[in-house]
């Protein structure tokens, strides 16, 4: 398959470059900037993109790629720090400048192949403190801003381009078009990355594995799609296991069993494990520790089941690309944001091979696959739910009281969103509770109760998210119901932090 390879220099936006290129039906893959020229050439990329990053090119410790990559004759696009890498490599000069952060007006000086079809100017998102003072011989300026005279440069002869702004973020107008211009028009990559092709390729690959597969399902779209793809590939060699760990949404264990029994012909076994999970979490407050405890306990349940009902060779999971990136185990140098139980939480003693068909997909791509496979619309549009469950939506120790508050208040949030026609308009919605308490008045008496926080966000791929501006009357209904219907809740607040700097889940 034709592809664009993105070299990751540590930018928080590196993954978004891949995501936007895939929007043009071209496959994009993220690798470390440390990849050698020989290793990169073996991937047979049609084009190469250097991501942004926090470093300054003139520092001794600045990350730099294998210089031979510049001589491969493959088109290159540098973004932000990648732009400065190109300038430095070809003999230009990068200097410290006044920081330019936020939306700027990009004046297009020359509508070359990279910026063709974009008009005379556009809004572009800047995030840099360095700039190219002198561009290399053979390059020309094709775009500038008031603060950055070399915001876009090009050597059309060698097909090497540098842009100081970030086309991958939504704040840049028509940024996806710029990336498409590079991938399709300059690199001539075929637009063959479709979810139908992915299904066919994945099923074919899985059909060639040996041994039986034990698939962990949660009732969510990721694990359900995973199980159906594997079933198409190996049929009766698949066995599904659903673990009721007591950390699910209100009545979710019943809904999941009904769904699998009525909608899918999957071989499913339910394991009741609420007490063992909650006992392991007793007294634990640190969110990373909770995630790892839950991940290891899941594996213990799976291993015990496999030993009694096997033999099994594989453990399948619905791991997605954002899980891999945030857990710090992707091919790039990204920092660990939080350990996902199904990635960084896997213990060393696991004696099953791990099968993750969706490991390099984003959530919206999985939803496209779900529609192709004919999954019920209710499941396709269902909001994401964290693998560790309510343990990461309960701040501090997981207690029976906080668990009940979290379940009931989240159900109220979802019910009111549905009634108001908002549920399918937002990416994710829930209520979280911690140890904070506040004074309220019930009747004529003073009451000291818990504080519930409502979190509703919009997103495309869960890597970035913005808080949702819900109507105040809808928030009022949620608040009134939560304080009236749930004992020991006196205050309700609404979270208005976006990602970044916050994450979607509280822990």
Tokens of 483: 């304080």
Domain boundary among the residues 380, 401, 417 is at 380
Mark which of 136, 158, 186 sits at the end of a domain. 186
Note whether 286 and 308 are same-domain residues: yes
Residue 265 token pair:
């012909």
Percent helix, strand, coil in the chain, to 5, is: 35, 25, 40
Structural domains of the chain, count: 3
Tokens at 114, concatenated:
């990279």
Which strand ranges, in their side-by-side order, compose the sheet holding 314-316?
Answer: 268-272, 238-244, 213-216, 314-316, 353-355
pLDDT at 479 over 70: yes
Tell whether 204 and 276 lie within a shared domain: yes
Q: Which domain holds residue 177?
A: 3-186
105 falls within a domain: yes
Question: Where does a domain end: 358, 380, 402?
Answer: 380
C-alpha 258 chain-centroid distance: 29
Cα–Cα distance, 430 to 435 (Å, whole number):
17
* Residue 219 Cα distances to 227, 314, 360, angstroms: 11, 20, 20
Q: Give pLDDT, residue 10.
A: 87
Give the span between the Cα atoms of 344 and 366, in whole angstroms: 21
CB atoms within 10 A of CB 272: 11
Residue 108 lies in a domain: yes
Residue 214 shares a structural domain with residue 120: no
Tens-place pLDDT, residues 177-203: 999 999 999 999 999 999 999 999 999
**Do residues 74 and 128 both lie within one domain?**
yes
Q: Would residue 500 count as lying in a domain?
A: no
Domain match, 240 and 257 both: yes
Strand order in the sheet with 160-163: 27-32, 3-8, 47-50, 76-79, 160-163, 152-155, 140-144, 93-108, 121-134
Domain-embedded: residue 506: no
Distances (CA, A) of 359 to 13, 91, 217, 308: 19, 40, 15, 28
Cβ–Cβ < 8 Å for 423, 493:
no
Assigned token pair, 406: 């979290």
Active site members = 80, 166, 168
Q: Above 70 in pLDDT, residue 343?
A: no
Same domain, 406 and 269: no
504 belongs to a structural domain: no
Q: What pLDDT, in 10s, does the model give residues 420-475?
A: 999 999 999 999 999 999 998 876 677 889 999 999 999 887 777 899 999 999 99
Spatial contact of 398 and 391, defined as CB atoms under 8 Å apart: yes
Please give the pLDDT value at position 349: 64
Q: Are residues 120 and 264 in the same domain?
A: no
**At CB < 8 A and 24+ separation, what contacts does 54-59 make?**
54/10, 54/11, 54/81, 55/9, 55/10, 55/81, 56/94, 56/96, 56/129, 56/130, 57/81, 57/84, 57/85, 57/87, 57/88, 57/94, 57/130, 58/88, 58/94, 58/95, 58/130
Both 136 and 180 in a single domain?
A: yes
* Residue 387 covered by a domain: no
pLDDT at 507: 85
Residue 98, pLDDT > 90, answer no
Residue carrying the six token digits 């499941």: 379
Residues 330 and 432 in one domain: no
Same domain, 116 and 233: no
Same structural domain, 177 and 219: no
Q: What is the mean pLDDT of residues 299-322?
A: 90
Kindly state whether residues 267 and 406 are assigned to the same domain: no
Q: From its phi and psi, is residue 439 left (phi > 0), alpha (psi between -120 and 50) or beta?
A: beta
Q: State the CATH number of the domain containing residue 437.
A: 3.30.300.10
Looking at residue 175, which CATH number applies to its domain? 3.40.50.880
Q: What is the DSSP annotation of 380-441?
A: HTPPP--TTGGGGTB-SS--HHHHHHHHHHHHHHHHHHHHTT-GGGSSEEEEEEEEEEEEEE
CA gap 47, 4 in Å, rounded? 5
Q: What is the pLDDT of residue 334?
A: 40
Sequence-distant (≥ 6) Cβ neighbours of residue 318 within 8 angstroms: 216, 217, 218, 220, 221, 222, 223, 224, 225, 226, 342, 356, 358
pLDDT tens digits for 192-235? 999 999 999 999 999 999 999 999 998 889 999 999 999 999 99
């Amino acid at each position: 398959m034709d592809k664009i390879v993105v070299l990751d220099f540590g930018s928080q936006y590196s993954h978004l470059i891949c995501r936007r290129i895939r929007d043009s039906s071209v496959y994009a893959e993220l690798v470390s900037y440390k990849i050698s020229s020989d290793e990169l050439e073996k991937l047979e990329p049609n084009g190469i993109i250097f991501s942004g990053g926090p470093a300054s090119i003139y520092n001794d410790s600045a990350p730099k790629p294998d210089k031979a990559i510049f001589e491969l004759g493959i088109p290159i696009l540098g973004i932000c720090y990648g732009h400065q890498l190109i300038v430095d490599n070809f003999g230009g000069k990068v200097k410290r400048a006044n920081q330019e952060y936020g939306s700027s007006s990009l004046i297009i000086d020359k509508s070359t192949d990279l910026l063709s079809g974009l008009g005379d100017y556009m809004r572009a998102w800047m995030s840099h403190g360095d700039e190219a003072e002198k561009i290399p011989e053979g390059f020309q300026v094709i775009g500038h801003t008031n603060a950055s005279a070399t915001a876009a440069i090009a050597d059309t002869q060698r097909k090497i381009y540098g842009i100081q702004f970030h086309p991958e973020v939504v704040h840049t107008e028509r940024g996806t078009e710029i990336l498409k211009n590079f991938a399709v028009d300059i690199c001539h990559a075929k637009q063959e990355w479709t979810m139908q092709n992915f299904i066919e390729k994945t099923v074919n690959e899985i059909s060639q594995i040996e041994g039986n597969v034990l698939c962990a399902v949660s009732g969510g779209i990721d694990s359900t799609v995973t199980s159906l793809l594997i079933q198409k590939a190996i049929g009766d060699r698949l066995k599904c296991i659903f673990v009721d760990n007591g950390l699910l949404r209100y009545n979710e264990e019943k809904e999941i069993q009904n769904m699998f029994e009525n909608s899918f012909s999957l071989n499913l076994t339910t394991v009741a494990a609420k007490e063992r999970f909650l006992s392991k979490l007793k007294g634990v407050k640190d969110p990373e520790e909770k995630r790892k405890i839950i991940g290891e306990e899941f594996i213990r349940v799976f291993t015990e089941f496999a030993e009694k009902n096997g033999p099994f060779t594989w453990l399948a999971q619905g791991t997605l690309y954002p899980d891999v990136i945030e857990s710090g185990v992707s091919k790039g140098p990204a920092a660990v944001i939080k350990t996902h139980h199904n990635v960084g939480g896997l213990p060393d003693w696991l004696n099953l091979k791990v099968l993750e068909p969706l490991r390099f997909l984003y959530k919206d791509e999985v939803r496209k696959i779900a529609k192709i496979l004919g999954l019920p619309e209710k499941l396709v549009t269902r909001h994401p739910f964290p693998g560790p469950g309510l343990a990461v939506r309960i701040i501090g120790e997981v207690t029976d009281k906080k668990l009940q508050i979290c379940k009931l208040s989240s159900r109220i949030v979802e019910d009111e969103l549905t009634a108001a026609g908002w549920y399918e308009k937002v990416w994710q919605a829930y209520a979280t509770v911690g140890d904070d308490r506040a004074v309220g008045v019930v009747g004529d008496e003073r009451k000291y109760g818990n504080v519930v926080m409502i979190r509703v966000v919009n997103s495309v791929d869960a890597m970035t998210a913005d808080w949702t501006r819900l109507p105040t009357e809808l928030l009022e209904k949620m608040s009134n119901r939560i304080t009236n219907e749930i004992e020991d809740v006196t205050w309700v607040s609404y979270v208005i932090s976006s990602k970044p700097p916050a994450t979607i889940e509280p822990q």
